[in-house]
Amino acid sequence: MYKGIAASPGIVIGLAHVISNTPLTISRKTIPASKAETEISRLKAAVNRTKADITAIKEKVVHDIGTAEADIFNAYLLLLQDPMFTGKAEEIIRTQLINCEYALHMVLQNYAEFTNRISDPYLKERSRDISSLADKIIRNLEVTGKKETKQSAEKYIIIANDLSPADTADMDKNNVLGFVTEMGGATSHTAIVARSMEIPAVVGVRDITSTAKTGDLVIIDGEKGIVVVNPNPKILILYKEERKKFILKLRMLKRFKTLEAVTIDKHKVELTANIEFPEEIGAVMENNAEGVGLFRTEFIFINKSNLPGEEEQFEAYRTIAMKMSPKPVTIRTLDIGGDKFLPYFKIAPEQNPFLGLRAIRLSMANPNIFKLQIRAILRASAFGNVKIMFPMVTIPEEIDEAVKIVEEVKAELKRKEVKFDGNIKIGVMIEVPSAAIMADEMAKKVDFFSIGTNDLIQYTVAADRGNETVSYLYDPLNPAVLRLIRMIANSAHKAGIRVSVCGEMAGAPHLAFILIGLGIDELSVSPSSILSAKKLVRNISFKDALEEAEFALKQEKGAVISEHVMASLDKILMPKKKENVDES
Ligand code: PEP
Ligand code: MG
C-alpha cells in the first residue's frame, strides 16, 4: 500500500501498465549456435510488436491531428525495415552468437560512433530516433514470451514517473481507468486535467515504477491518495465496497442540482465551473453551474501541431458562450509556461519556468498572439455573456498594457464593423503575492478579481506546486495565504468589485467554508465538484463561516486551523443528520 497525494477523486481497480523510465541495462550473453535462429525469431517478434505499436500511435495521430504530423512515424517504420538496422543485428547474432539485446546495442553503438563524427543536426536527430527505436524493441523483447497481460483488451491503470498536462489531456478515457505518478502535486496541471476528465489519480508516489509491474492488480483511491498494488482479497472486497459508496455519494449529490447556492442565513455564494476543454460544457450544464468561472484556454492550444488561428479560437469561445448564455463565461488568456508548454512555440530554456516567461508575461512578449486571442474573445462576446481575464498579473502596469491592447482591438473591430460586447468585463487573476499586496490599486483598474490560489500558495511559500518533496509546505491553510486572501477580498469589496477563487482550494468543502468566511463571493470549481460545493453552502451559515475565518486569521499554524475547521464542520453538519435539500 502506497500513500501519495490525492489528485483526482474516484476509486478504480484494474491492471497496471507501467511506463518505465529507468535506463535499460543490457548485458552480453553468448548463445550456442543451435539457439541463433530462436534468438533471431525473438528479435523479429519484438520488431513486429514495435511496428504494431508505432502503427497504432501513427493512426491515432492521423485521426486526432493530421497526416503531416504522422510523418515521423513513417520514418520509424521505414527504419524498422532498414537492413542496416535490424538486419545488421540479425547478422551479429548469427556470426558472433550473442543475445539479441546485445546485438541491437552493438548496432546502436555503431550508429552513435558514426553520428558523433557528423555535425548535421538532422542526422543527429535521426540517431536519437534510432536509439529510441532500439529502446522500444528491447522493451518489447522483455514482453515477448511472457504471459500476455489483458491490458490491451481491458482498461488499465497507468503508472509512470511523470506525466505532462499534455500527456494527460491526450489520454483516451476508453482505455485509461486512472493513473499514478511518482512526481507531481495536487494542484499541478496534470492533476487538474485529470479532475476535469474525471480520471481518478494519485501523484507523488515515490518509487512505484520500480516496484509495480505491468499486469499487477492495482487499486487507486483518488480521494485519499492511496494506491494498493496486488491487494489481498480482504482489501479488494473493502475497496469494491468503497467504490460502490463513492458512486452512491455522487448519485445523492444530484439532489442539489436545481437548488440555489445559499447558506442557511441566506447568504448567496456564486458557484461556477473551471474548464480546460470546450467538451466539458456538457458537464458544466449537467451540474447546473452558474457560469464558467475559468476557461483555461491554453488547453485548446496544448495538443495541437500549430498555434490555433483566430477562427478556430473564435469558434471554440463562441460555442461555449452560446451554450452558457445568459450565464457568464470567463475566458482567461493564454497561461503558457510554468508546467505547460507548446511543442510548436519554443520558449528559451529557463532555470525556473514558474518564475519565468509565463502567462501574461508571455502574451506581452508576443503581442501578435495576444491580439489574435483578444480578437477571437471579443468576437465571441457578441454571442453570449463573455468576460476576459488575465493570468498571473504581477504589477499594475501589466493591467494598463493589457487593457490598452484590448482597447486597440476593440477600435479595430469597430472600424471593420465586427460585432462585440462593448461593455465586456475585464478581470485579473490575483495569484502572485505582489498583486495581493497591491490589490487595492489593482482593484481600481478592473471589473473583477479571481484568486488563483494554486499559484498564490506556491509563490507565497516558495514551494513548487508540482514538487512532491516540498508538498508539506504547500498548505492552503497557511495563515500567510489566508491573510493574503482576506486582503484581496477586502480590497475588491472596497473598490466595489466582486472576487472569486478559482484555484483548487475552492473545491474542497472545508477550505471553501473558510473562503466564504474570508469574504469570497464566488467559488469556481471543477464541474464534478459543483454539487458537493453546493451541499456545503446550503448546510452552513455565513455567521459560522465568518467566525471560522476569524479564528483562522488569528492562528500561527496551518495544522491548528485544519484541525479546527474539520471539527467545526463536523459539529455543524453532523447533528442535523440531514442535508438541506428543501426547496428554498
Ligand atoms: C491558480 O493558479 O489557482 C489557477 C486557477 O490557475 P492555474 O491552476 O491554471 O495556474
Ligand atoms: Mg494560476
CATH code of 378's domain: 3.20.20.60
105 and 167 together in one domain: no
Choose one of 217, 233, 249: the last residue of a domain: 233
Query: In this structure, which ligand is nearest to the CA of 506?
Result: 1
Task: Indicate if ligand 1 lies below 6 Å from the C-beta of 452.
Answer: yes
- The low-confidence residues of the chain, meaning pLDDT below 70, are 21-25, 57-58, 60-73, 111-133, 135, 139, 142-153, 575-584
Choose one of 140, 174, 192: the last residue of a domain: 140
475 and 519 together in one domain: yes
Does the CA dihedral 324-328-331-332 come out positive or negative?
negative
Q: Closest Cα to atom 4, ligand 1: which residue?
A: 452
- If phi over 0 gives left and psi between -120 and 50 gives alpha, with beta otherwise, what is residue 583? beta
Choose one of 140, 159, 184: the last residue of a domain: 140
Q: At what angle do helices 310-324 and 367-380 cross, to 10 degrees?
A: 30
Has residue 247 been placed in a domain? no
Given a contact cutoff of 8 angstroms between Cβ atoms, the answer to whether 171 and 276 are in contact is no
State residue 302's pLDDT score.
Answer: 80
CA dihedral 118, 123, 129, 135 (to 10 degrees): -20
Report how far ligand 2's centroid is from the alpha carbon of 5 (Å).
19
Could you identify the residue written with the cell 491548528? Answer: 560
Q: CA-to-CA distance for 480 and 462, rounded, in angstroms?
A: 12
For residue 453, which atom of ligand 1 is closest to its CA?
Answer: 3
Task: Indicate if ligand 1 lies below 6 Å from the C-beta of 453.
Answer: yes
409 and 546 together in one domain: yes
Report how far ligand 1's centroid is from the alpha carbon of 259 (Å).
28
State residue 70's pLDDT score.
Answer: 63
Q: CA-to-CA distance for 453 and 87, rounded, in angstroms?
A: 56
9 CB burial (10 A radius; 0-12, 13-18, 19+): buried
174 and 298 together in one domain: no
45 and 193 together in one domain: no
Residue-by-residue DSSP string for 451-486: E-HHHHHHHHHT--TT-GGGTTT--TT-HHHHHHHH
State residue 81's pLDDT score.
Answer: 80
Report how far ligand 2's centroid is from the alpha carbon of 515 (Å).
17
Phi (first) and psi of residue 455, to 5 degrees: -85, -40
State residue 499's pLDDT score.
Answer: 98
417 and 465 together in one domain: yes
Q: CA-to-CA distance for 429 and 370, rounded, in angstroms?
A: 17
Has residue 509 been placed in a domain? yes
Could you identify the residue written with the cell 490525492? Answer: 6
Strands (E), 5-155: 5-8, 11-19
Nearest to 208, CA basis, from 467, 5, 18, 470? 18
Cell readout for 221 is 483511491
For residue 456, which atom of ligand 1 is closest to its CA?
Answer: 2
Has residue 569 been placed in a domain? yes
Report how far ligand 1's centroid is from the alpha carbon of 455 (Å).
6
Has residue 447 been placed in a domain? yes
Radius of gyration of the chain (CA): 27
Q: Closest Cα to atom 9, ligand 1: which residue?
A: 296
- Distance from chain centroid for Cα 562: 26
State residue 344's pLDDT score.
Answer: 74
AA letter at 356: G
Task: Indicate if ligand 1 lies below 6 Å from the C-beta of 476.
Answer: no
Q: CA-to-CA distance for 364 and 357, rounded, in angstroms?
A: 10
273 and 200 together in one domain: no
State residue 147's pLDDT score.
Answer: 32
Residue 48's contacts (CB-CB under 8 Å, 6 or more residues apart) are none
Angle at 535 between CA 530 and CA 537, to 5 degrees: 95
Task: Indicate if ligand 1 lies below 6 Å from the C-beta of 298.
Answer: no
Top mutation candidate among 193, 394, 429, 511 for ligand 1, by most atoms within 8 Å of CB? 429
Report how far ligand 2's centroid is from the alpha carbon of 436 (Å).
13
For the chain, what is the domain count? Answer: 3
Has residue 309 been placed in a domain? yes
204 and 303 together in one domain: no
Beta bridge partners of 268: 262
Helix (H) or strand (E) holding 156: strand 156-160
Has residue 291 been placed in a domain? yes
Give the CATH number, domain containing residue 202: 3.50.30.10
54 and 112 together in one domain: yes
Q: CA-to-CA distance for 101 and 45, rounded, in angstroms?
A: 13
Task: Indicate if ligand 1 lies below 6 Å from the C-beta of 296.
Answer: yes
State residue 149's pLDDT score.
Answer: 33
106 and 15 together in one domain: no
Report how far ligand 2's centroid is from the alpha carbon of 35 (Å).
59
Task: Indicate if ligand 1 lies below 6 Å from the C-beta of 544.
Answer: no
Q: Closest Cα to atom 6, ligand 1: which residue?
A: 452
Has residue 94 been placed in a domain? yes
Has residue 579 been placed in a domain? no
Domain that holds residue 512: 257-573
Cell readout for 163 is 506525466
Query: In this structure, which ligand is nearest to the CA of 340?
Result: 1
Residue 153, SS3?
coil
Give the CATH number, domain containing residue 101: 1.10.274.10
154 and 122 together in one domain: no
129 and 158 together in one domain: no
State residue 513's pLDDT score.
Answer: 98
Top mutation candidate among 190, 333, 335 for ligand 1, by most atoms within 8 Å of CB? 335
Cell readout for 143 is 514482453
Query: In this structure, which ligand is nearest to the CA of 454?
Result: 1
Q: At what angle do helices 36-64 and 100-116 cross, to 10 degrees?
A: 60
Q: Which alpha helices (DSSP H) does 296-450 contain, by range?
A: 298-302, 310-324, 360-365, 367-380, 396-415, 433-437, 439-443
Residue-by-residue DSSP string for 342-355: BTTB-----S-GGG
Report how far ligand 1's centroid is from the alpha carbon of 101 (Å).
46
Catalytic residue list: 189, 502
Top mutation candidate among 196, 295, 454 for ligand 1, by most atoms within 8 Å of CB? 454
Q: At what angle do helices 542-553 and 479-494 cross, to 10 degrees?
A: 120
Task: Indicate if ligand 1 lies below 6 Å from the C-beta of 454.
Answer: yes
